[in-house]
Amino acid sequence: MHQLLARSVMRRLVSSSTRNRFMWSLSSPPSAAVIVWKEVGKPSSESVVMMSGQKLGFCGQWWRMMSSASEPPTKNSTSTVAGKEGDKEAKRSRASVERMEGEDEVAVSSYWGISRPKITKQDGSVWPWNCFMPWETYQADLSIDLSKHHLPKTLLDKVAYWTVKLLRIPTDLFFKKRYGCRAMMLETVAGVPGMVGGMLLHLRSLRKFEQSGGWIKALLEEAENERMHLMTMVELVQPKWYERLLVIAVQGAFFNFYFVLYLLSPKLAHRVVGYLEEEAIHSYTLYLNDIDRGEIENVPAPAIAIDYWRLPKDATLKDVVTVIRADEAHHRDVNHFASDIHYQGKRLQEAAAPIGYH
């Protein structure tokens, strides 16, 4: 009886001593076994003993957090951690500032190392535009024949011609002689066909593993040129809120209309654009006539137009409208040419595209 009582007392003493004095765990790799030992009553800085040369695993770090959580952090330790974090942030900010080479250069992530190369004009000044580069600028060909007109002969030609004529009626009623606002609205529509046609030809090329004959680039080039017309007109005419709302509605409707039209009949789609460009030439001619009569002030040309069309420094609104009208005449020829290719029963890639033909 006494022996049984003595054994039970000894078991309790051993189990309580072991539970209070030792805790061990194994880190994830079997070869990196770590034994963590904590003695009750000792400070937390001496509570962790690493029995191997490797760093403490997850269990050991968890034990450190648990052991330190029982003791409130001292003021010195808190300030030390905050100071280290502040030093790190200061070093990061200084490093990012050092990577900035100029006032107009944006700091980039050091991980990717992507930055815009320094581009200058011929006079050595910094190139100010992000929307186009110097090698994308050009001098407009003003010698193009503005009076060309494609006579509608076939049924599809007549459909395209009268569709454009009907679309002009609400435009004339809404804008009347506000040619700046009319031009702005016109360019938001004129920039859609080239993008739609280029996108569909691009997908066709990927789908059928065939060349495009340069037409993808030509149509996207047309869309980009029309977009630059819009950027220029926005500088000249600050659109009102209802005009911006009208642009959203018209663009949404016209994009879907032209997308379906191009899928059904590319030759009709290009013919529609050809006639739209003819109407654009007519509108810009009326715009120039009002400038010549003094009804519209011939203000200085915006800087973006001077750099894009390589105009003289003293260029005016009349010069800008003149080069835009020449661009529209080139787009007229390109789209009528594309439609004629389809009328001949050929595909666009069978005829070389006039790349660079603004």
The domain limits of the chain are 155-350
- Global pTM? 0.68
DSSP secondary structure string for all residues of 97-132:
HHT--STTPPP--TTT---PPP-B-TTSPBP--SSS
3-state helix, strand, coil in the chain (%, to 5): 65, 5, 35
Question: What pLDDT was estimated at residue 7?
Answer: 62
Question: What pLDDT was estimated at residue 336?
Answer: 96
pLDDT in tens, 65-82: 444 444 444 444 444 444
Domain 155-350 sits in which CATH superfamily? Alternative oxidase (1.20.1260.140)
Distance CA 220, CA 192 (A): 10
pLDDT in tens, the chain (358 residues): 555 555 665 665 545 544 444 344 433 444 333 333 333 344 444 433 344 444 434 444 444 444 444 444 444 444 444 455 445 545 554 554 444 444 444 555 567 777 778 888 888 888 988 888 898 999 999 999 999 999 999 999 999 999 999 988 888 887 777 888 888 888 889 999 999 999 999 999 999 999 989 999 999 999 999 999 999 998 888 888 888 888 889 888 999 999 999 999 999 999 999 999 999 999 999 999 999 999 999 999 999 999 999 999 999 999 999 999 999 999 999 999 999 999 999 989 889 888 777 7
Distances (CA, A) of 83 to 78, 88, 96: 9, 9, 20
Question: What pLDDT was estimated at residue 242?
Answer: 83
33 and 3 Cβ atoms separated by less than 8 Å: no
